[in-house]
Amino acid sequence: MIPPAHMTPSQAADLLVQALPHMQRYDQEVIVIKYGGNAMGDAATAEDFAEDIVLLEQSGLKPVVCHGGGPQIARMLEKLGIKSEFKQGLRVTDAATVDVVEMVLAGSVNKELVGTITREGGKAIGLCGKDGNMVTARKVQRTIVDPDSHIEQVLDLGFVGEPDRVDTTVLDAVLKAELIPVLAPVCAAADGQTYNVNADTFAGAIAGALNAKRLLLLTDVPGVLDKDKTLIPELTIEQCRRLIADGTISGGMIPKIETCIYALEKGVEAVVILDGKVPHAALIELFTDTGSGTIIRR
């Protein structure tokens, strides 16, 4: 771990002493990091993230990066003149949209991130859920209750999928070769149909299948907030469920928490939701005593 140049030798030594036990704890452990489209930010933020990933790998950890790209998909759809349909606030992924999703996520976003990590000294390889049948998807089935008739209706989101099965053969080989896998959440179903999978859900499935030590969900919020908008530093699964029930956890945070619970129940030791726009957020979480964001344990 290279101390910042402005530190005194004494401060640098203190930092290294603090970091060493954490490095030993995570030595040779798999750390899955979900890098959200909104957390990617500008070039400087991407470079900080890439530096963190390279340092984790050089410190003996096995980082696996899963990324999103919602804002990038939206910009490309607008550029191509493809209008998006939304149902209950969720984007419908039709045939034209799923082609763009694959092009952006498995193409430009994935390779840009691979390139950034490589420039920082890492050896990254870009893959998606289709490669080696890594993640087989199934169509998402959502239902809603009509507010007038109170009749439950099926909500068809098109080619939006969720993980059905994970085969770690390719990932095991990549990690054994000391490469850094960078994964896009584009998957195929058993019949070959391409599906767009939520990046949080995808990362949770990967972390569970690899029995990861940690799953870090880098997003654009500090973590889980209470009703006074104060950060909650630590939660259990049961506390998460209570906070969803009383409305403290709401909106887009609910599916993130559901992903956390899924990953924990699959064997991940702990999941952390943290602000990816904070410089070196992953290093602060893993290698310092204070940590960052909200950690959720079984």
Does this model's pTM top 0.85? My answer is: yes
21 has pLDDT over 80: no
Tell me if 153 sits within 8 A of 87, measured CB to CB. no
CA–CA gap between residue 52 and residue 283 (Å, rounded): 6
Which amino acid appears at position 292 of this protein? S
148 has pLDDT over 60: yes
Reference 219, options 244, 251, 262, 172; nearest CA is 251
Question: Which fold does the domain 27-297 belong to in CATH?
Answer: Carbamate kinase (3.40.1160)
For 138, list phi and psi in degrees, rounded to 5. -130, 155
DSSP designation for 132: G
5 has pLDDT over 60: no
Q: How much is the average pLDDT of 124-130?
A: 98
pLDDT band at 41 (very low <50, low <70, confident <90, very high): low
Q: Domain residues of the chain, as ranges?
A: 27-297
Tell me if 97 sits within 8 A of 86, measured CB to CB. no
CA–CA gap between residue 187 and residue 231 (Å, rounded): 34
